[in-house]
């Protein structure tokens, strides 16, 4: 038995036989050749075939997991045509007179190491992509078949790092879990895995040579550990947990389509928080009444240039169209603090959480803000879209935002571009906003309380600092009173108030929120049915 720990990318538990991937990476042989032109033409042929495969993978992913995730195969197509990469391979074939497979393998390794050692997280994540296209080229050069994920029995996949093209080809009914030595939580692989609902661990120090095909393994995403060759006792406990999870899931499933209503008739909205277009699948799967927080900054992360107006418009339009008339609240860019993006060149700050972030950047760099607003107003034509502004502290900020929105409307009118004017609300996540919520309520259509930041700023506790976890108490009376105050002030002005911070999904507080008159709870998709259950079991007037 061997127990190893890693980082859990998706919670869940699985037990089954292991399949080990990526074992044979280094087995490409160096062969001396006499005809460099022949190798170059073989390489060109393999390149063409790879491009065709990537195109069909792109189309498959587009259908199954959406445009944002499918885009990785476009990145692969670009890498496949990258001049530096191809020049290095050509040069090696011609100067060292070696076979194309070997030149690709060595160049692939060199580029992999170069990317893996970069500071920038986005570039680091590209290391796996380089490996992916190099392996594909080698397979096409040697005529080796790709692993046929469709015909294998349900298994736990263990690998050095899973490439996005591998994960997307996997039939999720056949994959019980995956465990990788490398990979980051922001990598496409992790994102795809979460979307595919596969229990997954990354950063697990597995010696792949010691792990045999068919060996049993328990993958426990709750405790972030994998146990190879588990004892019968551990297997029995895992089976029990799997059944329990399934039962919980089945019970929750029966709540789909039911109203979010307490025993004594109080109705509340339950919406979902998402970070990407691809997450909408989860929203629908869990039967959310709408999207209460689309963290649009994720469109800006994991890339090296700003998303264009058109890219944003397509993303927002896709979400509102898919939600078919249900409310979709899109929060404008909340970059800075914990969400750093290199190309914004924000510079180092002593106190980033209290620094240049969110609406402050948008008000200072109007060009970035206007691009997003144009995309939002245009997408609004296609569904029930609302805009929400983060990190508000004053009436003046709202007035400034509105005057920028007016400019954007004039520009769209001037360009003859159709748009609609969405409802506009604000996040209440600073103590200042709480204290003047009576004034703010008259200016906006709704409030959504961001308890993650509100707790941080009220208790003066950095939410990122693990050492302060014991002090970070969102149940603190100060926070509870603030929520109550915000809701009352919203209602006095005839506006609604919801909660979109993590506290909204805290089942211990659901009844209390209902008593306070909170109108909406926006939670992670996986929490929707659990919150709905808590609401239906509540009785607030007792
Ligand atoms: C919050 O602060 O509670 C919130 C929902 O926003 P984020 O977690 O994205 O800062
Ligand atoms: Mg926040």
- pLDDT reading at 60 higher than 90: no
Task: Tell me the per-residue pLDDT of 421-470, one tens digit each, with 9 for 90 and over.
Answer: 999 999 999 999 999 999 999 999 999 999 999 999 999 998 877 678 78
Ligand 1 atom with the shortest distance to the CA of 502: 3
Q: In this structure, what is the dihedral angle of CA atoms 508, 510, 516, 518, given to the nearest 10 degrees? A: 140
Predicted local confidence at residue 11, as pLDDT: 76
Task: Tell me the per-residue pLDDT of 473-507, one tens digit each, with 9 for 90 and over.
Answer: 889 999 999 999 999 999 999 999 999 998 999 99
- Looking at 76, 188, 306, 362, which residue is catalytic? 188
Tell me how far the alpha carbon of residue 276 lies from the centroid of ligand 2, in angstroms. 17
Predicted local confidence at residue 186, as pLDDT: 47
Instruction: List C-alpha distances in Å: 105 to 29, 45, 254.
Output: 9, 17, 52
Query: What secondary structure does DSSP assign to 474-514, as a single string?
Result: TT-HHHHHHHHHHHHHHHHTT-EEEE-SGGGG-TTTHHHHH
Ligand 1 atom with the shortest distance to the CA of 449: 3
pTM for this entry = 0.67
Average pLDDT rounded to a whole number, residues 345-369: 92
In b/e form, how buried is each residue of 284-300, taking b as 16+ CB within 10 angstroms? eebbbbbbbbbbbbbbb
370 contacts: CB under 8 Å, gap ≥ 6: 404, 407, 408, 411
Catalytic: 476?
Answer: no
Q: Which of 136-150, 343-357, 372-386, 508-522 has the lowest mean pLDDT?
A: 136-150
- Looking at 76, 306, 362, 500, which residue is catalytic? 500
Query: In terms of residues, how long is the chain?
Result: 542
Average pLDDT rounded to a whole number, residues 399-407: 98
Distance between CA 26 and CA 18 in Å, rounded? Answer: 21
Predicted local confidence at residue 290, as pLDDT: 97
Out of 452, 463, 520, mutate this one to test ligand 1's pocket (max ligand atoms within 8 Å of CB): namely 452
Q: Which of 45-59, 217-231, 254-268 has the lowest mean pLDDT?
A: 45-59
Predicted local confidence at residue 189, as pLDDT: 57
185 contacts: CB under 8 Å, gap ≥ 6: 7, 9, 202
Q: How many CB atoms lie within 10 A of CB 274?
A: 26
Is 501 touching ligand 1 by the criterion CB < 6 Å? Answer: yes
Look at the alpha carbons of 182, 186, 188, 189 in this order and tell me if their dihedral is positive or negative: positive
Is 452 touching ligand 1 by the criterion CB < 6 Å? Answer: yes
Out of 427, 434, 472, 486, mutate this one to test ligand 1's pocket (max ligand atoms within 8 Å of CB): namely 427
Predicted local confidence at residue 246, as pLDDT: 86
Instruction: Kindly report the protein residue whose alpha carbon is nearest to atom 9 of ligand 1.
Output: 295
Residue 328 phi, psi (nearest 5): -130, 110
Tell me how far the alpha carbon of residue 399 lies from the centroid of ligand 1, in angstroms. 23
Catalytic: 493?
Answer: no
Q: In terms of Cα–Cα distance, which of 108, 131, 138, 146 is closest to 29?
A: 138
Highest average pLDDT, of 24-38, 287-301, 367-381, comes from: 367-381
Ligand 1 atom with the shortest distance to the CA of 452: 3
Residue 385: band (very low, low, confident or very high) from pLDDT cuts 50, 70, 90:
very high
Average pLDDT rounded to a whole number, residues 173-180: 86
Q: Which of 234-238, 299-303, 320-324, 345-349 has the lowest mean pLDDT?
A: 299-303
Residue 267 phi, psi (nearest 5): -105, 140
- pLDDT reading at 285 higher than 80: yes
First to last CA, the chain: 53
Tell me how far the alpha carbon of residue 429 lies from the centroid of ligand 2, in angstroms. 6
Average pLDDT rounded to a whole number, residues 6-12: 82
Distance between CA 32 and CA 226 in Å, rounded? Answer: 43
Average pLDDT rounded to a whole number, residues 382-405: 98
Q: How many CB atoms lie within 10 A of CB 385?
A: 25
Out of 330, 450, 451, mutate this one to test ligand 1's pocket (max ligand atoms within 8 Å of CB): namely 450
Instruction: Kindly report the protein residue whose alpha carbon is nearest to atom 4 of ligand 1.
Output: 450
Q: Which residue carries 């792949």 as its tokens?
A: 208
Distance between CA 526 and CA 180 in Å, rounded? Answer: 24
Average pLDDT rounded to a whole number, residues 27-40: 89
Q: How many CB atoms lie within 10 A of CB 32?
A: 9
More confident residue, 61 or 435: 435
Q: Is 420 exposed, middle or buried (0-12, 13-18, 19+ CB in 10 A)?
A: middle
Instruction: Kindly report the protein residue whose alpha carbon is nearest to atom 1 of ligand 1.
Output: 450
Tell me how far the alpha carbon of residue 136 lies from the centroid of ligand 2, in angstroms. 41
Secondary structure element (H or E) that encloses residue 425, with its range: strand 423-428
Ligand having the closest approach to the CA of 454: 1
């Amino acid at each position: 038995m061997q127990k190893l720990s890693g980082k859990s990318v998706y919670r869940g538990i699985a037990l089954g036989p292991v399949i080990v991937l990526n074992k044979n990476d280094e087995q490409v042989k160096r062969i001396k050749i006499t005809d460099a032109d022949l190798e170059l033409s073989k390489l060109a042929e393999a390149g063409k075939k790879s491009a065709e495969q990537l195109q069909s993978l792109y189309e498959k992913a587009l259908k199954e997991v959406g445009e944002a995730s499918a885009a990785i195969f476009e990145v692969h197509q670009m890498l496949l045509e990258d001049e530096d990469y191809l020049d290095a391979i050509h040069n090696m074939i011609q100067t060292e007179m070696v076979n194309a497979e070997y030149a690709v393998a060595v160049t692939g390794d060199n580029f992999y190491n170069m990317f893996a050692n970069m500071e920038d997280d986005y570039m680091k994540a590209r290391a796996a992509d380089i490996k992916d296209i190099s392996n594909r080229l080698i397979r096409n050069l040697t005529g080796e078949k790709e692993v046929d994920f469709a015909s294998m029995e349900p298994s736990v996949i263990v690998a050095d790092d899973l490439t996005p093209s591998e994960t997307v080809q996997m039939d999720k009914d056949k994959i019980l879990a995956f465990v990788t030595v490398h990979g980051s939580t922001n990598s496409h692989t992790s994102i795809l895995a979460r979307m595919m609902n596969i229990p997954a661990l990354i950063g697990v120090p597995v010696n792949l040579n010691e792990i045999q095909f068919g060996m049993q393994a328990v993958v426990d995403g709750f405790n972030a550990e994998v146990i190879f060759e588990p004892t019968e006792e551990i297997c029995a406990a895992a089976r029990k947990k799997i059944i329990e999870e399934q039962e919980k899931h089945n019970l929750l499933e029966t709540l789909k389509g039911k109203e979010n209503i307490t025993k004594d008739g109080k109705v509340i909205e339950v919406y979902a928080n998402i970070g990407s277009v691809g997450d909408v699948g989860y929203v629908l799967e869990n039967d959310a009444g709408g999207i209460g927080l689309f963290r649009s900054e994720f469109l800006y992360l994991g890339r090296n240039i700003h998303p264009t107006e058109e890219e944003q418009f397509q993303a927002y339009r896709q979400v509102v169209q898919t939600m078919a008339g249900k409310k979709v609240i899109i929060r404008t860019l909340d970059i800075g603090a914990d969400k750093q993006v290199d190309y914004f060149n924000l510079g180092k700050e002593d106190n980033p959480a209290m620094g240049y972030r969110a609406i402050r950047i948008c008000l200072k760099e109007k060009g970035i803000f206007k691009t997003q607003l144009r995309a939002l107003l245009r997408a609004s034509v296609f569904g029930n879209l609302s805009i929400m502004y983060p990190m508000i502290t004053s009436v003046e900020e709202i007035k400034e935002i509105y005057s920028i929105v007016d400019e954007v409307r004039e520009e769209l009118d001037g360009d003859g571009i159709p748009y609609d004017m969405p409802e506009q609300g604000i996040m209440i996540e600073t103590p200042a906003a709480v204290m003047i919520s009576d004034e703010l309520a008259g200016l906006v259509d709704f409030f959504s309380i961001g308890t993650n930041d509100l707790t941080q700023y009220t208790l003066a506790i950095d939410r990122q600092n693990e050492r302060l976890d014991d002090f970070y108490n969102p149940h603190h009376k100060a926070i509870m009173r603030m929520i109550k105050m915000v809701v009352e002030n919203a209602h006095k002005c005839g506006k609604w108030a919801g909660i979109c911070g993590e506290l909204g999904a805290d089942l211990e507080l659901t009844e209390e929120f209902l008593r306070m008159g909170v109108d909406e709870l926006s939670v992670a998709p996986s929490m929707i049915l659990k919150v709905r259950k808590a609401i239906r079991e509540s009785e607030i007037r007792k």
